[in-house]
Amino acid sequence: MVELIETQIPGLLVVRLDVHEDSRGWFKENWQRAKMTDLGLPDFGPVQNNMSFNTRRGATRGIHAEPWDKFVSVAAGRVFGAWVDMREGPSFGMTFHIEIEAAVAVFVPRGVGNSYQTLEDGTVYSYLVNDHWRPGFTYPALHLGDPTAAIPWPIPLEESEISAKDLGNPSLDDVVPMAPRRTLVVGAGGQLGRALCSTFPAAVPVDRDELDLTDAAAVEAWPWHEYDTVLNAAAYTAVDAAETPEGRRAAWAANASGPATLARLAGEHGFTLVHYSSDYVFDGTAAGPDGHTEDEALSPLGVYAQSKAAGDLAVGTAPRHYVLRTSWVVGDGANFVRTMQRLAADGVSPAVVDDQVGRLTFTDELVRATSHLLDGKAPYGIYNVTNGGEPTSWYDVARAVFRLAGRDESDVTPTSTAAYAKEYGQGKQLAPRPLHSVLDLAKLRATGFEPEDAMTALERYVRGETAQADSRP
């Protein structure tokens, strides 16, 4: 039976493997993804398998802290394996060692120094890695005989065979710890992007002028290997303008081609991709009793909706992805609530559609759900994310805003989507809109996340009691 054993070094895991022996020799499943991940091993996505043949007993290699994860084992012989944590943080300098034979393997996380000493002639040391080796990579290394690490080598180092390069490695006092991989926020200038940057202050924020995903040269030059998470808040959101020739091209570039590029890069570089989608991927006709579920068939109506649906499908090809479908987003920027606040302040009495039903999603709630899914290592896939509470119409929301602004709710009059388009859409190319935008939140709640009631959040927002309400109408 395969067994997983944690060590004192965070993330360094020992795996006891099943080995089947007979007179001919032995057989083992050295890496079996489904079994290993069920045990709790990271689904680290190996892309390269390396073998090191060692002619004689006593060959000693290391200590190297490469910027990728490794799964080490032996194909023949035995080794004494030793590891030193060389990552930034409280576990820096922590050590662990174990003898590796056919029935033992070790998962080594990025930044943990790896080394071994062969205990038999003809030993074959094997390791899977989740990034391709490239010339010019630099990473921390440590002298095999460092007194602080004090590794108890079975064969004295003066009797071992060690490369000149490894003999020149520094002591632990001179090692520059490896920094953790970072988070990248794409589309950092938008209302969602700004909210993400506020919650992830150590993230690297970029907008299109800094990283254009349609520019192949810029994409190729970007150091993607430095990131473990990419939050894609970039989107073309001008729903009606997307129906024009220029808007159509822009919508597909931002909402479909950009996410497809990020999905490809996520597969190549092993980062987790978080992408934000829309209720518009549904036409509003097939929702269940609690709203549209994550596995409902896509049925986009207009160009914007079609481009978002294409982006969802593209992101779904990334090995580690979250698609967060949301609706009626409100944050620090131009939005429906701000418009209603302004109209209320200006003495205007608007007509607002009452046949489009959904839930508001405040950006702080969307960001809170993002953190929850990432921190909790929720299963990858699609999640509906909105504020909670009873569904409302845009008319209901407008009346609430007027009431909170000190205006009479009756100053807002109801109208239908068709009537509104007929009266106010003259000379405009209006995109079709789903009438039913309620998203079922059961899957999100199953992860332990409880959304805040939308109308409670609306009251805090209108009263200026949230960070996202800093820009006044």
> Residues with catalytic annotation?
64, 127
Measure the CA–CA gap between 405 and 459, rounded to whole angstroms: 10
Query: Which residues are CB-contacts of 168 (< 8 A; sequence separation ≥ 6)?
Result: none
Nearest C-alpha neighbor of 82 from the set 7, 193, 182: 7
Residue ranges of E strands in 93-203: 95-100, 104-108, 112-118, 123-129, 182-186
The DSSP letter of residue 253 is I
Task: Give φ, ψ of 357 to 5 degrees.
Answer: -120, 135
CB 238 within 8 A of CB 249: no
467 to 22, 144, 193, 332: CA distances (angstroms)? 67, 51, 14, 8
Burial of 123 (0-12, 13-18, 19+ CB in 10 A): buried
The DSSP letter of residue 420 is H
CA 116 to chain centroid, in Å, comes to: 34
Which residues sit opposite 70 in a β-bridge?
Answer: 108, 129
Burial of 294 (0-12, 13-18, 19+ CB in 10 A): middle
Which residues sit opposite 20 in a β-bridge?
Answer: 27
Residue carrying the six token digits 């100053």: 411
CB 243 within 8 A of CB 303: yes
Which residues sit opposite 83 in a β-bridge?
Answer: 96, 114
How is residue 465 written in tokens? 């009691």
How is residue 345 written in tokens? 């302040």
CB 272 within 8 A of CB 229: yes
Residue carrying the six token digits 């109801």: 414
